[in-house]
Amino acid sequence: MSNFTAVLDANVLHAYPLASVLLDLAEARMYRACWSAEIHAEWMRSVQRARSGIPLEKLERRRDAMDTALPDACISGHECLVACLELPDPDDRHVLAVAIRAKAQVIVTYNESDFPAATLAGFDLVAQHPDTFLRHLIDLDRNVVRARLEMMLARLVNPPIGKDEYIAALERLSLPETAAALRELLADG
């Protein structure tokens, strides 16, 4: 298992195409993924706001599957740190507290500006856009990423999603570098 630890902010767990690749690469032990019950609650609320017809039970199954697949990912014991932390948005302090408690190196988030570099530096942390984070993982081990992506696409059968459709979905999620790298990677294989 990799000792490199990344906290996945709720906004990167919201959209299934992004969450699935992040989780698959964590299952492959390319990095250790972390979150908390609060992060779970946040992404679930976000999905329900965006897709009001989605049953809560479906989201709970997804949450439970995440916790089962990565049993060391859900962090607790960070709550006492929250009040001591300062960030531009006080609602993000719990994410930083999880990162500190997990001894993470990275917070993967679309909202990098919510986690100022000067604040994070004091905890040996950086905030990274998911496009940058995934691109680093692809560069780290192209063969593992290719194999995991092919396995993931093979599992997506209801409805089936082809590689071009999946990569286009990542592009729509503001992941242009990842999409380009995956196109190249899957064309090679």
Weakest mean pLDDT among 21-30, 64-73, 180-189:
180-189
Q: Which DSSP string do the residues of 56-109 spell out, in sequence order?
A: HHHHHHHHHHHHHHSTT-EE-S-HHHHTT---SSGGGHHHHHHHHHHT-SEEE-
d(CA 87, CA 96): 9
What per-residue confidence (pLDDT) applies to 36?
Answer: 97
- Please state, rounded to an integer, the average pLDDT across all residues of the chain: 93
Of the chain, the percentage scoring pLDDT greater than 70 comes to 98
Given a contact cutoff of 8 angstroms between Cβ atoms, the answer to whether 106 and 7 are in contact is: yes
pLDDT for the residue 171: 95
Q: Decide if pLDDT at 101 tops 80.
A: yes
Q: Average pLDDT, stretch 7-12?
A: 97
Q: What is the pTM of this model?
A: 0.94
- Count of CB atoms situated within 10 Å of the CB of 61: 11
- In the block, tokens 């989201």 appear at 59
Q: Identify which of 176, 132, 140 has the alpha carbon closest to the alpha carbon of residue 148.
A: 140
Q: For residue 107, is pLDDT > 90?
A: yes
